Structure 1
Amino acid sequence: MTREIDQWLLDDARTASGEAARQSARLDWLSVTESALDNGGDSISGSVTAIFATADQLSANPNDPTLRSQFLSSVDESASAFRRTSASLASAANGVATEAQSAVDQLNTDLSALTRVNDGLRRARTGSTNEATLLDERDRLVGNIAAAIDVNVTYDARNAAIVRTPSGDPLVDGDYLATVTLSVSAGGLLSFGIAPATSLQIASGRLAGLSDAATHISNQRAGLDSLAANLSSALNGAHQAGFDANGNPGAALFNFTGSAANMTAAALDTSEVATANAASSNGNMLAFNTVRASSGIEQNITAFVAQQAQATAAARAQEAAASGRRDGAFAARDAIGAVDLDREAADLLRFQQAYEAAARTIQVARETMQTMLNIF
């Protein structure tokens, strides 16, 4: 039995598959991150805008208890929005880590299966059906491995696959079988290795895409914390510059300890809203508009969300290009070695009809001969 293959097309398809898997995994989690940051009316952007809007309304009637209550509610909702967004990003980070662990487990399973296929190839008779089946399974497993990480693949005299990392570390080589490991930092960053202590740098495949996504989510979590810090600092300072209904200096509006996940609104009652300054009963609320412009917090949040949207759009375009490249490489590979079931079905029908036609010809010839013999 002879297998129809083109080794260059096989290698090209493997490379294209790895890059497509990377872009697909990255896009999936960037889309999740985009949803977490731009959650419609519950977004951090909308909640911060609501604070300034209610402050503006309160400045027109600073003694109205309902408006004072609305102002405090908007502060509380903004803190809640930051906590929800932080929790969503933390959940995304955990999701990436979980998927990465599953991918590493599957990779180790495929590496182990490849060693068994290699052992079978060393025992198989050359040109046998068993060898052809094992070669197909070898190529399938190598393709799965390359879709997970970037590898260099060579073959020994018995066509057993030797798989190494681009840096030359063996994963499968003869009787040697490596175990790939995963570590997750406190910030959600992923790092890979080969047990017991060899670092593994991955530039392609699903694991590379998950690593990219984990890094991106970690950066977005840090960015969210920075926005929360800026908002707390700006509004706490503005509120503490005024005086409340009892003539006391304003208290902090937010409790912030370094993370948006722990950001809360201070427990104030309506009389503790510092609407006044030394000049008038609404002077401090009027000053909030100045803070709105000088702090730039709304513009910073808008830019933060817009940058995420741009990153997701770019990832979507890259994923589409990589998928198209993969599909083209697969089509070129399959044109040489794959079985076209439609063509096989058509050929089967054609052979069946040819057989029936031949059988009918023989039957007619037999009947004609018998008729001629019966004459005599």
Structure 2
Amino acid sequence: MSGLSTTMEIAKGTLLNTQLQIQTVSHNIANAESLNYSRQKAATSTNPAVRERSGWLGQGAQITHVTQARDQFLESRLLETLSSKAYHETRSSALKTAEAYITDEGESGLSHLLGEFWASWDILNMNPDGVSEKESVLQAAQDLASQINGTWAALEDTRLALLDEAENQETRINELLRTIADFNRQIAYSETPSHTANDLRDKRYQAMKELADYIHFDTTEIPGGAVVLSLDGHTLVAGSEVVNTVDFDPSAPALHLKNAASTTTATLTDMETISGKLGGPATAADTIATWQNRLDAFSQTLADQVNAQHPGFFTVGTPPSATLAVSVADASAIDGSNALDIAQLQTATVTFGTPPDTVDMTFSGYWSDIQRNVGTEVASSEFQADFQDTLMNELESQRQNVSGVSIDEEMVDLLKYQQLYQAAAKLIQNTANMLQTAIDMVP
């Protein structure tokens, strides 16, 4: 009789096991379209055997825990690539916008206006006292100065907008840090050494993926299931505590890390290391600033060289490209005696910049070099953005292969568990009949 009772208990355990396994399969199927869901599986373990007179007899199996199909190394690489992708995409988009202000387009481009400026002096040289010739010089100079002013202003507007964009990310970043810390708290409360809070871990990973879109961070899982997030060696989240929040300073630019008392614990200035949607616009703004500096060198040298031949023709302040202006109000005040010397500046090699960062080139050559460098920078950023996008898609595909739900596989498992359930039910039925037969034999 004890053997039949044991058989009944084993069959009952099998029924309970398969119910949980079918429930897990159903949960997988329901989340098949959830991108951040990790496939779960109810794992069974053989129960300890019992020693009987005839030897060690098995006692069936039990569900020990529900596992997740995860690859932490792959997920870590995916988070890193997400940050890099967002960084290069935002930077590439910003530089592409700014490039339009540097690129020459038809008669409105700086190259054309510079050529018109030199040509007007060449024409004035043929008739140094000509009224119309002097008016042409004045108009060409004003058009050139206006174009330089407008180019610098457009670049400055773009640069400031990018810094504002970076600053606007800090609110969402800090919200996500608090969200992840709260998930850490829930996971630590819910988990036991043998049971993991799988769905909470999925939600936390989803929040971490969103955070990776804004900044790059390193993750370390600690006992209890919580994770520690750090940025460039500085802790952001440790367990259920947000150790440091972020505060972006657009004037530097710099990222300040502040503790609960709002005390700055670290200041990070390497925006490429910070990466993501915060670092991308910030580094793009810095790149645009270097373009402005080169434009300033062009403007300052133009004013200096022309003023050396025609004193006071241009006025220039700080920054040079924003303040360059023609000081001559009346065309009749233009001195045509040095017109040839000014016209010859078109092909003259002059020095741009301040020591030790100087270069000797012609005006058109220097401007073309600026455009070339801008084009190279934009092309490089676009290449990096495309590369990171391809890499992210590949990593996401690999993650889906590891953690994603295959409907075909789940249906196979479902059929298997249904057959197990039917077999266990049949075993209970047959065992019950055997028990009844044994009972009926008792007088």
Q: TM-score range by the shorter chain?
A: 0.7 to 0.9
Per-residue CA distance 1:120-161 (angstroms, 9 max, x = gap): 212335699993321111111112223322222112333222
Which position in structure 1 is the counterpart of 2:347? 293
2:323 to 239, 256, 262: 262
Counterparts of 2:213 and 2:274, CA distance in 1: 8
Deviation at 1:338, TM superposition (A): 2.6
Counterparts of 2:220 and 2:274, CA distance in 1: 18
Matches within 5 A, 1:202-221: 203-206=273-276, 207-221=278-292
- The answer to whether the aligner puts 1:91 opposite 2:157 as a matched pair is yes
Matches within 5 A, 1:271-286: 271-276=332-337, 284-286=338-340
Q: Secondary structure at the match of 1:150?
A: coil
Which position in structure 2 is the counterpart of 1:136? 202
Q: Percent identity?
A: 19
Which position in structure 2 is the counterpart of 1:194? 257
Amino acid at match of 1:205: S
Which position in structure 2 is the counterpart of 1:114? 180
Which position in structure 1 is the counterpart of 2:313? 253
Counterparts of 2:282 and 2:163, CA distance in 1: 9
| Residue pair 2:82, 2:392 contacting (<8 A) in 1 also | yes
TM-score (ref. length: structure 2):
0.68
User: Over alpha carbons, which structure has the higher Rg?
Assistant: 2
1:46 to 93, 99, 112: 112
Amino acid at match of 1:291: L
Matches within 5 A, 1:316-327: 316-327=382-393
Per-residue CA distance 1:314-335 (angstroms, 9 max, x = gap): 1111222122111111111122
| Residue pair 1:18, 1:205 contacting (<8 A) in 2 also | yes
Is the alpha carbon distance of 1:129 and 1:254 closer, same or farther for their aligned partners in structure 2, counting shifts above 3 Å? farther
2:308 to 219, 237, 252: 237
Is the alpha carbon distance of 1:132 and 1:49 closer, same or farther for their aligned partners in structure 2, counting shifts above 3 Å? same
Counterparts of 2:153 and 2:313, CA distance in 1: 22
Counterparts of 1:123 and 1:71, CA distance in 2: 79
| Residue pair 2:166, 2:279 contacting (<8 A) in 1 also | no
Query: Which structure has the highest strand share of the two?
Result: 2
| Residue pair 1:238, 1:291 contacting (<8 A) in 2 also | no
Per-residue CA distance 1:236-272 (angstroms, 9 max, x = gap): 22223xxxxxxxxxxx221101321122111332211
Is the alpha carbon distance of 1:267 and 1:290 closer, same or farther for their aligned partners in structure 2, counting shifts above 3 Å? closer
Per-residue CA distance 1:81-132 (angstroms, 9 max, x = gap): 1111111111111111111112222211111111121122123356999933
Per-residue CA distance 1:328-349 (angstroms, 9 max, x = gap): 1111112221346xx57x979x
Which position in structure 2 is the counterpart of 1:6? 71
Which position in structure 2 is the counterpart of 1:173? 238
Deviation at 1:164, TM superposition (A): 1.5
Amino acid at match of 1:73: Q
Counterparts of 2:94 and 2:186, CA distance in 1: 39
Amino acid at match of 2:304: S
Counterparts of 2:343 and 2:132, CA distance in 1: 20
Which position in structure 2 is the counterpart of 1:372? none
Is the alpha carbon distance of 1:266 and 1:129 closer, same or farther for their aligned partners in structure 2, counting shifts above 3 Å? farther
Deviation at 1:285, TM superposition (A): 1.9
What CA RMSD, in Å, does the superposition of the two structures yield over aligned residues? 2.7
Counterparts of 2:237 and 2:146, CA distance in 1: 51
Counterparts of 2:156 and 2:115, CA distance in 1: 24
Counterparts of 1:258 and 1:16, CA distance in 2: 41
Which position in structure 2 is the counterpart of 1:25? 90
Instruction: Find runs of 4+ consecutive structure 1 residues off by over 4 angstroms.
Output: 125-130
Q: Secondary structure at the match of 2:248?
A: strand
> What number of residue pairs does the alignment pair up?
326
Q: Secondary structure at the match of 2:223?
A: coil
Counterparts of 1:100 and 1:287, CA distance in 2: 48
Long gaps (5+) in structure 2 = 1-65, 351-361, 416-443
| Residue pair 1:16, 1:325 contacting (<8 A) in 2 also | yes
Which position in structure 1 is the counterpart of 2:81? 16
Q: Secondary structure at the match of 1:148?
A: coil
Counterparts of 2:194 and 2:213, CA distance in 1: 29
| Residue pair 1:21, 1:147 contacting (<8 A) in 2 also | yes
Q: Secondary structure at the match of 2:318?
A: coil
| Residue pair 1:153, 1:164 contacting (<8 A) in 2 also | yes
Query: Which structure has the highest helix share of the two?
Result: 1
Amino acid at match of 2:330: D
Long gaps (5+) in structure 1 = 241-251, 277-283, 352-376
Deviation at 1:38, TM superposition (A): 1.8
